[in-house]
Amino acid sequence: MKRLISFVLALGLLVAACGEHDSGPTTSTAPDSGAFPVTVRGTEIPALPERIVSLSATHTEVLYEIGAGPEIIATDVFSDYPAAATETEKVDAFNLSVESVAAMDPDLVILSYDPGEAMSGFAALNIPAILFAPPGPASLGDVYDEWQELGEATGHTTEALALVSQESEDIDGVVAEVPQTIRSFTYFVELDSTLFTVGPGTLLHSVFGMLGLTNVAGEDAGAYPQLSAEFLLDADPDFIFLADTVCCGQTAETVASRPGWSELSAVQNGAVIELDDSVASRWGPRISDLILRISKEVYGVG
């Protein structure tokens, strides 16, 4: 289960498509064909890609945001944002057929998980493929690096850098408004109803820390620990964030109905927050929406 949770988060595959982010290319400049060939994550891309297959919902969002949408010919089945991504041909990234993807005649494939021999298979067919391997970024700095790499790989470096600049400015603005508190509020992020959560080394742990919040899982818990109900009842977090509302049907009401959970401070204070699964599990341009939402829920600012 722990491995599955890690893969799901790394791929950004938890399903839902709403969010405050206004999708669309950061700038309208044409892709830079003169920048090629380029090498990204060890893969040489000889010429400006014109037929991109994105097998990662997170990176699909970024590609559209930096202006590479017109070049996308297919996406994984969970790429549901922006709306244009739903209209592309779909590929099952978990049960990937290299031959089927190759038949689409792509000149760039983006993956965040290799289910077997995909990378070697694409290499054997001389199809440039970039793997953003699990478990995914551990910090916003890592996120920004990935965005820039996607820009370089698609000839949209200028747009990628502009996206990084705008998002970092927006996020810095939210963080700057976080008030000082007498003590750090504690939180629990629920990834599924079996109580898997996030820990040190994950992006969400880092983001919550930026906002002055303390993870009840602790700093020695590992990236994706599974907690017990007894542990959580004893820890009594100030806030519970549900990142399993769509995948698993969890709500503030279902949490309150669990044995003993109605006594938790978060339940009694109305501090069980239902997140959009896809926004919480991906690290695309909507990461600033997530940070803003957390800040508003906890501090009423942002």
Structure-model confidence comparison of residues 34 and 232, the more confident one? 232
Q: How does the average pLDDT of the chain come out, rounded?
A: 90
Q: Where exactly does CATH 3.40.50.1980 map onto the chain?
A: 11-170, 179-299
Fold classified for 179-299: Rossmann fold (3.40.50)
What is this structure's pTM?
Answer: 0.88
pLDDT band at residue 302, thresholds of 50, 70 and 90? low
Domain 11-170 class, CATH top level: alpha beta
pLDDT value at residue 3: 43
pLDDT band at residue 21, thresholds of 50, 70 and 90? low
Q: Contact at 8 Å (CB) between 232 and 220?
A: no
pLDDT band at residue 25, thresholds of 50, 70 and 90? low
pLDDT band at residue 116, thresholds of 50, 70 and 90? confident
Among 45-49, 53-57, 155-159, 179-183, where is mean pLDDT lowest? 179-183
The mean per-residue pLDDT over the stretch 170-192 comes to 94
pLDDT value at residue 115: 87
pLDDT value at residue 276: 92
Burial pattern 18-29, b for ≥16 Cβ within 10 A else e, equals ebebebebbeee
pLDDT value at residue 35: 84
